[in-house]
Chain A
Amino acid sequence: KNEVEQSPQNLTAQEGEFITINCSYSVGISALHWLQQHPGGGIVSLFMLSSGKKKHGRLIATINIQEKHSSLHITASHPRDSAVYICAAGGGGSNYKLTFGKGTLLTVNP
């Protein structure tokens, strides 16, 4: 069993739909990261959170430390949101390393 599990693996939506991607982790963490990866490889950090909720534009990330679960929400989705969204658990004691989920491929159709 992977230490960081994401669901769904693939997600197709129509423009304007509300999208939720889920992440469960079994490792102890200092922070939970949500990342976006476009075709070609570039990774952009969307959120780093250790409790509660963060919002940036149409993106919202929440985390429940007790349940070891986080969600990424996209409101009013747009085709430009199409990308792979990756959840990563950060921690590791004296060194800080990320343990990644396999990613969720999101396709938003116009």
Chain B
Amino acid sequence: DAGVTQSPTHLIKTRGQHVTLRCSPISGHKSVSWYQQVLGQGPQFIFQYYEKEERGRGNFPDRFSARQFPNYSSELNVNALLLGDSALYLCASSWANEQFFGPGTRLTVL
């Protein structure tokens, strides 16, 4: 059975651009969470979605948004990119609070 998948694996953007990151959870998992990991730091919680509804939001600006689709896959959108948005973006799907992480998307903003 496939684990959590994320696309793309790497992405380079310039300041001011917009980016969309995608995540497919493990089959049967209805909850998806997004995390940002800046180099040298632990991940920071961005969003959690469950059954297509936002259940939690971390301390991130409104430039960050997300949604979950009927098949439980999810997108994370970031508008007006800043240099500081360069990070590894991790998606996790969960079952009974146990989190399964995807490989991440490494975003570089130039």
In the assembled complex, the Cα of A101 lies from the Cα of B41 at a distance in Å of 8
Could you mark each residue 79-92 of chain B with 1 if its beta carbon is under 8 Å from any beta carbon of chain A, else 0? 00000000010101
A105 closest partner in B (C-beta)? B40
> Would you call B45 and A41 a contact (CB within 8 A)?
no
A6 closest partner in B (C-beta)? B42
Given A41-B88, A41-B103, A41-B104, A30:B97 Cβ within 8 A: yes
> Would you call B35 and A98 a contact (CB within 8 A)?
yes
Closest approach, in angstroms, between the C-beta of B98 and any C-beta of chain A?
Answer: 5
> Would you call B94 and A96 a contact (CB within 8 A)?
yes
Residue B48 CB within 8 A of the other chain: yes
Closest approach, in angstroms, between the C-beta of B37 and any C-beta of chain A?
Answer: 8
Across the interface, B99 reaches (CB within 8 A) one of A41, A95, A98, namely A98
> Would you call B56 and A103 a contact (CB within 8 A)?
no
Measured between beta carbons, the chain B residues less than 8 angstroms from A94 are 55
> Would you call B101 and A95 a contact (CB within 8 A)?
no
> Would you call A86 and B99 a contact (CB within 8 A)?
no
Residue A69 CB within 8 A of the other chain: no
Which of B44-92 touch A at CB < 8 Å?
A: 44-45, 48, 50, 55-56, 58, 88, 90, 92
Which of A6-60 touch B at CB < 8 Å?
A: 30-31, 33, 35, 41-45, 48
Interface positions of B (Cβ within 8 A of A): 31, 33, 35, 37, 41-45, 48, 50, 55-56, 58, 88, 90, 92, 94, 97-101, 103-104, 106
12 A-B contacts (beta carbon < 8 Å) = A4-B42, A33-B99, A42-B101, A43-B90, A86-B43, A95-B50, A95-B56, A96-B31, A96-B55, A96-B56, A96-B94, A97-B48
Interface positions of A (Cβ within 8 A of B): 4, 30-31, 33, 35, 41-45, 48, 86, 88, 90, 92, 94-103
